[in-house]
Amino acid sequence: MSDAFASFNEAWDDFTARVAAGWDGFFSSTNRRRDESGRIARARATGIVSERDAGHVALPSYACELGEKVRVLDIGQNAIASLEEQALGRLTGTTQARLDGNALRALPRALFDMTRLRTLDVRGNRLRAIPDAIDRLRALEQLNMDDNELETLPASLGRLTRLRRVTASGNKLRDFACAAALGSCDALEVVSFAKNVRMRGAIPSSWSRLERLKEIDVDETAVESVPAEIFSGCVALHTLSARACSNLDIGALKSTPGYDEYDRRRVDKHTKQIESRVLLDSARLDERLG
């Protein structure tokens, strides 16, 4: 793949992330104005259930009635504390489930029957655990677990070999060892564990097998070291963000074998983006360390 094409792909990822944020804002404001009958008609026509910020305390009944016709389920930013197993179990055709910003304390078993899911967003809930059964979601590519109350992660995540992006920032994770299983997720490109302030230990050496891994974010954690295998094995890595990590010796990090090669990729990547005007923020050139 040419550098230009790679830059385009990464810019596209950034663009789609911004679109998703805009989508959230749009439907939050739109759903306050649009009556329920209009939303139901739209869902029947498109397969997109957009009930974001609509004041719900449960999954809307019409979504269950649509069943496998639902492609996108967006019930984010409501006040849903639990999801009925029977209701959710009908949504077997869903590829995107946005459950963020609710009051969920647990994920129902029926969620893991939605085996076509490619995107699962559960950020901003009250989850204390991710069930082992998550490995049933073999099509999953993006998993957002930010801002919950997670203290550990299941080893079964390692069986989700199509995962491209995993984020678990702002939780209560205590040790990087709980993320070691991600080293088996061959397609992984982006990993974020930022703002897990008690998360100690080294970045797992098992991640060195991830030849497609591009970004690691461990800002505001208690990370202690980065194994040399990460720099030598993660040949696509261009962003290691470790700001406000007081336990990390930056001098020792820069002396780690393989760091210089990583640093050349980092500078080259962001310089090319700026020169091509794909990214106009020269601040991205900083090391993101310290």
Q: C-alpha dihedral over 177, 264, 290, 188, to 10 degrees?
A: -30
Residue 6 reports pLDDT greater than 50: no
Residue 118 has pLDDT above 80, yes or no: yes
Residue type, 279: L
- pLDDT beyond 60 at 280: no
pLDDT at residue 197 above 70?
Answer: yes
**Sign of the alpha-carbon dihedral angle for 111, 44, 162, 216:** negative
Give per-residue pLDDT as tens, 43-85.
Answer: 999 999 999 999 999 999 999 999 999 999 999 999 999 999 9
Instruction: Look at residue 281 in the predicted model and tell me its pLDDT.
Output: 45
pLDDT confidence band for 235 (50 / 70 / 90): very high
**Structure confidence at residue 26 (pLDDT):** 53
Summarised one tens digit per residue, pLDDT across range 134-152 is 999 999 999 999 999 999 9
Range(s) of the chain covered by CATH 3.80.10.10: 154-281
Q: Identify the CA nearest to 203 among candidates 161, 242, 155.
A: 242
For residue 217, is pLDDT > 90? yes
Q: For residue range 29-45, what is the model confidence (pLDDT) as tens digits? A: 454 445 788 999 999 99
The pLDDT mean for the chain works out to: 89
Q: Name the residue type at position 96.
A: Q
Query: Which CATH architecture best describes the domain 154-281?
Result: Alpha-Beta Horseshoe (3.80)
Within 10 angstroms of residue 36's Cβ, the number of other Cβ atoms is 12
What is the model's pLDDT at position 17?
47
